[in-house]
């Protein structure tokens, strides 16, 4: 029985927003743009809260890394039913270069500090699509991992996880403590109720610095350039099969 | 042909919900921002996709009402001890606006339950009455309605001809009420009847009547222009007997209860009108970006730009008036003038914005593929119910003149 669950929630640009690349091609425009909780993180929070409602875990702690604004994201998790939040303060250049490796180091350190026995994350974030944090966190902690989970069941001191893989569904059994990453079909996140939104205001969010956790934020990656996807080019119509083959040879495709 | 149909469908499906409007939220407290976002998410995912069908089939959104009940939205101001959300009127206004943006009928169902049914019971009910008539109506399983208007009098509420006489330990009600929103789906009604006709409006009392009940029957559902997913009909009382304890407030207090309730209800309807106007503006602005004519998106044409600007100003000013009225009420300050101004401004904004939205969409605005025609039909009632625009003007003028009393 996992006593404490850590759930990572990431603040990302809202999925419905049209993304614009900054004129200097160093990144995308985030100023004044609507942000919300990563959809896979919502699913992770929902799963954790359900485990708590089934009395399989005692406490759900929501964690987010970033500047002041990520507190909104943590509050949303609290409104969905998380018990308390941890805001790991990262801002400025450090935040710009924050990636899965640093976040997993932070999560691993927090898991030890908070004596968590289960970490649930979204499978990936919709901004960078890395799909690495869960896996790296498990490796750093030397814990088993159940990624792309479409179903999670507690069986004694083990977890049965059904994973969505290319070939279909894979069922695995892993020991606790473990890391699980949520896929789309794991659950449908709830709407926060008004009373829970009010209660969220009173729940505690503690601030922590990465340095306090002994984590070095230096990135090993450097973003060289960000560009818009190429505009779709107009096609060419041909009359005969010979023309088609000719054109394909011309374009160097065959 | 198929390609044309597909293109029209694609346009119809692709209405953008204004994702850059962060500044609207910046002035509100965090709690209210979260509430607003939650209701917006719900409206976008659960209401907007079905609103067209609900309207077409005149279907009461029972499932959605239960879900909203579970969220606490059916009883925003009701204290938690009675099963409500225990939030303020500004929160309620935001909730109604966001929900109405998805489905105007659902918006009015939420508004009537909150303001016109739970409102008077909260304000004037005894502890016992609150337990009996409030708690079951907070979950979305049951909704209430408000029966003031009659076939013979709407604006002239003081001329109520529904009679209530005392017989032993019962009240006996006789008469007909008209235009009652929610009545076909309601489990209780606040009914206004006169206990003493000679006292005119001071002889009116308010009663709590369970539904269904012997002596109470419903007229046929009105076939309305808009808000068709909410039921509207006559309430017919024929020797309808209710216990003495069902009197709400004091005998003769009915008119005061009615007017005070409508003062608050006005803010709810103003919020509904804002939601309709916002939905219409979303539709028009999105369309303007996508529709090309004369070689470019019509958004480049000043004629369209001026319309959108006028629409945005009408909407935003009405919204600020509505927020002000809600905040005055929350601060327990006099709010009649503000509420009347909000309702007047918002309802006229809704009809203006939805009218112009159809104009921006051209032919597409006139067909059911796009929601613009539904917003136009839904908007119209906001200038009529819970106090016509003419009555609002009288209320405002009255207040203004009082300020300059000689």
Predicted ipTM of the assembly: 0.81
Which CATH superfamily, name and number, covers A4-251?
Answer: HUPs (3.40.50.620)
- Of all residues in chain B, the percent with pLDDT exceeding 70 is 94
Q: Which of A14, A32, A197 sits opposite B38 (nearest CB)?
A: A197
Q: What pLDDT, on a 0 to 100 scale, did the predictor assign at position A35?
A: 94
Dump pLDDT digits (tens) for A72-89.
999 999 999 999 999 999
Active site residues of B: 386
Residues on B contacting A at a C-beta cutoff of 8 Å? 16-17, 19-23, 30-31, 34-35, 37-38, 41-42, 67, 70-73, 76, 80, 85-87, 91, 95
Average pLDDT estimate for B184-213: 95
Average pLDDT, chain A: 94
pLDDT band at A125 (very low <50, low <70, confident <90, very high): very high
pLDDT score at A241: 93
State phi, psi for B304 to the nearest 5 degrees.
Answer: -70, -40
- Determine the Cα–Cα distance for residues A72 and A65; give it in Å rounded to an integer: 12
Question: Does residue B21 surpass a pLDDT of 50?
Answer: no
Percent of chain A exceeding pLDDT 90 equals 88
Question: Are residues A79 and B34, on separate chains, in Cβ contact within 8 Å?
Answer: yes
Locus of tokens 């008004």: A194
Asked if B298 contacts B291 with a C-beta cutoff of 8 angstroms, the reply is: yes
pLDDT of residue B35: 94
pLDDT in tens, B147-178: 999 999 889 888 889 999 999 999 999 999 99
In chain A, the residue whose alpha carbon lies closest to the alpha carbon of B42 is A191
Q: Residue B282 in 3-state DSSP?
A: helix
In chain B, residues with a C-beta closer than 8 Å to the C-beta of A194 are 35, 38, 71-73, 76, 85, 87, 91, 95
Task: Please give the backbone phi and psi of residue A214, each rounded to the nearest 5 degrees, phi first.
Answer: 75, 30
Q: Residue written as tokens 């160097």?
A: A252
CA distance B238 to B271: 36
Q: What percent of chain B has pLDDT over 90?
A: 89
Q: What is the mean pLDDT of chain B?
A: 93
Kind plus residue range of the DSSP H or E element containing A140: helix A133-141
Task: Note the pLDDT of residue B158.
Answer: 85
Q: Report pLDDT for B37.
A: 93
Q: A165 pLDDT exceeds 60? A: yes
Predicted TM-score (pTM) of the model is 0.88
Q: How many CB pairs under 8 A join A and B?
A: 62
Name every residue whose Cβ is closer than 8 Å to that of residue A170 and which is 6 or more positions away in sequence.
A162, A163
pLDDT for B24 equals 45
Strands (E), chain A: 4-8, 11-13, 35-37, 59-66, 84-89, 118-122, 145-155, 158-165, 168-175, 178-182, 205-208
Q: Which domains does chain B have, with CATH numbers?
A: 30-143 (1.10.540.10), 145-253 (2.40.110.10), 255-404 (1.20.140.10)
How sure is the predictor about B12, in pLDDT bands with cuts at 50, 70 and 90? very low
Q: Does position B19 have pLDDT exceeding 80, yes or no?
A: no
The interaxial angle of helices B48-57 and B104-111, nearest 10 deg, is: 80
Over 70: is that where the pLDDT of B5 sits? no
Least trusted range by pLDDT, from B16-25, B75-84, B289-298: B16-25
């Amino acid at each position: 029985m996992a006593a404490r669950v850590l759930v990572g929630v990431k603040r990302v640009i809202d999925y419905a927003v049209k993304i614009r690349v900054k004129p200097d091609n160093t990144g995308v425009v985030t100023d004044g743009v609507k942000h919300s909780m990563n959809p896979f993180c919502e699913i992770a929070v929902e799963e954790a809260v359900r485990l708590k409602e089934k009395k399989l875990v005692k406490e759900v702690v929501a964690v987010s890394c970033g500047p002041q604004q990520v507190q909104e994201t943590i509050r949303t998790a609290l409104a969905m039913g998380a018990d308390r939040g941890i805001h790991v303060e990262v801002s400025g250049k450090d935040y710009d270069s924050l990636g899965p490796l640093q976040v997993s180091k932070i999560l691993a350190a927090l898991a030890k500090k908070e004596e968590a026995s289960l970490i649930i994350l979204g499978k990936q974030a919709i901004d960078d699509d890395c799909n690495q944090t869960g896996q790296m966190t498990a490796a750093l902690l030397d814990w088993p991992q159940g990624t792309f989970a479409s179903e999670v069941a507690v069986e004694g001191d083990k977890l049965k996880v059904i994973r969505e893989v290319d070939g279909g569904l894979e069922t695995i059994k892993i020991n606790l403590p473990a890391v699980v990453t949520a896929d789309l079909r794991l659950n449908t996140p709830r709407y926060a109720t008004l009373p829970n939104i009010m209660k969220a205001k009173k729940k505690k969010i503690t601030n922590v610095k990465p340095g306090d956790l002994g984590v070095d934020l230096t990135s090993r990656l450097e973003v060289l350039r960000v560009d818009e996807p190429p505009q779709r080019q107009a096609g060419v119509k041909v009359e005969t099969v010979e023309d088609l083959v000719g054109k394909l040879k011309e374009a160097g495709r065959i | 042909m198929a390609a044309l149909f597909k293109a029209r469908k694609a346009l119809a499906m692709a209405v953008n919900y204004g994702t850059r409007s962060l500044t609207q939220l910046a002035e509100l407290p965090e709690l209210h921002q979260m509430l607003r976002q939650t209701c917006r998410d719900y409206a976008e995912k659960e209401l907007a996709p079905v609103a067209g069908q609900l309207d077409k089939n005149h279907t009461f959104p029972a499932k959605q009402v239960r879900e909203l009940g579970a969220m606490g939205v059916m009883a925003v101001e009701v204290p938690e001890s009675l099963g409500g959300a225990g939030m303020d009127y500004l929160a309620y206004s935001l909730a109604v606006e966001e929900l109405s943006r998805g489905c105007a009928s659902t918006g009015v169902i939420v508004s009537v339950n909150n303001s016109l049914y739970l409102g008077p019971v909260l304000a004037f009910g005894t502890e016992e009455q609150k337990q009996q008539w409030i708690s079951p109506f907070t979950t979305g399983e049951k909704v209430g309605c408000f029966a003031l208007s009659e076939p013979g009098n709407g604006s002239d509420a003081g001329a109520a001809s529904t009679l209530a006489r005392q017989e032993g330990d019962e009240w006996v009600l006789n008469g007909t009420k008209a235009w009652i929103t929610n009545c076909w789906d309601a489990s209780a009604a606040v009914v206004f009847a006169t206990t003493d006709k000679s006292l005119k409006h001071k002889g009116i009392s308010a009663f709590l009547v369970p539904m269904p009940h012997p002596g109470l029957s419903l007229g046929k559902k009105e076939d309305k222009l808009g808000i068709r997913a909410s039921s509207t009909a006559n309430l017919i009382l024929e020797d309808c007997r209710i216990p003495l304890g069902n009197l709400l407030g004091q005998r003769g207090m009915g008119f005061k209860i009615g007017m005070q309730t409508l003062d608050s209800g006005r803010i709810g309807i103003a919020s509904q009108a804002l939601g309709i106007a916002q939905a219409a503006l979303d539709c028009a602005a999105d369309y303007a970006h996508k529709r090309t004519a004369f070689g470019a998106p019509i958004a480049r044409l000043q004629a369209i730009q001026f319309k959108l600007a006028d629409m945005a100003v009408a909407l935003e000013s009405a919204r600020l008036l509505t927020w002000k009225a809600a905040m005055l009420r929350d601060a327990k300050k006099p709010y009649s003038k503000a509420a009347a101004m909000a309702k007047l401004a918002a309802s006229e904004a809704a009809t203006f914005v939805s009218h112009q939205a159809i104009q921006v969409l051209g032919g597409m605005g006139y067909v059911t593929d796009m929601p613009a025609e539904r917003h136009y039909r839904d908007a119209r009632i906001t200038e009529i119910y819970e106090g016509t625009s003419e009555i609002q003007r009288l209320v405002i003028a009255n207040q203004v003149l009082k300020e300059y009393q000689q």
